[in-house]
Chain A
Amino acid sequence: DSGVTQTPKHLITATGQRVTLRCSPRSGDLSVYWYQQSLDQGLQFLIHYYNGEERAKGNILERFSAQQFPDLHSELNLSSLELGDSALYFCASSVDRVDTQYFGPGTRLTVL
């Protein structure tokens, strides 16, 4: 158990819908990262937040957005969902921007 929690574990929805994935980092960790794992794209970095501020963006679609709240939990919002958005979404956390990242168990999103 890494100490990073993600909810929900599974999410099934339809195309065009909007969903929110939640991540609670390890106690004391200020950085939160989001990654997408899909069969065709592999593991890709989406976005990084540090202490509430966005620090880096990767291959994140404009339909996706994220935020980190004052209690340091983070949410990833996915809108106008397409079949291709079906994937595992991982959250990771670290103490600061250069420390080891610890991964949560992931949220499996299925878009039908």
Chain B
Amino acid sequence: AQSVTQLDSQVPVFEEAPVELRCNYSSSVSVYLFWYVQYPNQGLQLLLKYLSGSTLVKGINGFEAEFNKSQTSFHLRKPSVHISDTAEYFCATEPNNAGNMLTFGGGTRLMVKP
């Protein structure tokens, strides 16, 4: 069984400030890791994914995430946020031995203020 915990339900931040959205997971098997973004009234869009290899993963819109196996974390970071980054962000896992279902965290609402 897998579970994903996003430790912050809301993160307010000022424009051009750095941000980190935290994600921890637990799983009995090795997993792939994903971050998705959901803008208001839209579907989910893939930001980045970790399958294997380098633990630092770069995604779209200037986001990056670091896989830490010992801490079972996959935190999302951006050095300077824009107003347009205001959205809901979801961390997700997928077992790498089956490739079937994504297990999502509860989501973090990033609110960028001017």
A63 to B98, CA, bound (A): 26
CB of B53 within 8 Å of the partner chain: no
Secondary structure of the B contact surface, majority rule = loop
Give the size category of B's interface with A.
20 to 34
Query: Is A22 part of the contact surface with B, judged by Cβ < 8 Å?
Result: no
By a CB distance below 8 angstroms, the chain A residues around B60 are none
- Quick check: which of A12-20, A64-72, A73-81, A99-107 contacts chain B, the rest being far away? A99-107
Give bound CA distance, A4 to B46, whole Å.
Answer: 14
Interface size on A, residues (CB 8 A): 25
Interfacial chain B residues near A35, Cβ < 8 Å: 102
Assess whether B98 is in contact with A56, with CB atoms less than 8 Å apart.
Answer: yes
Complex contacts, A61 vs chain B, CB 8 Å:
none
Q: Chain A's nearest CB lies how many Å from the CB of B89?
A: 12
Residues of B within 8 A of A (CB): 34, 36, 42-46, 49, 90, 96, 98-107
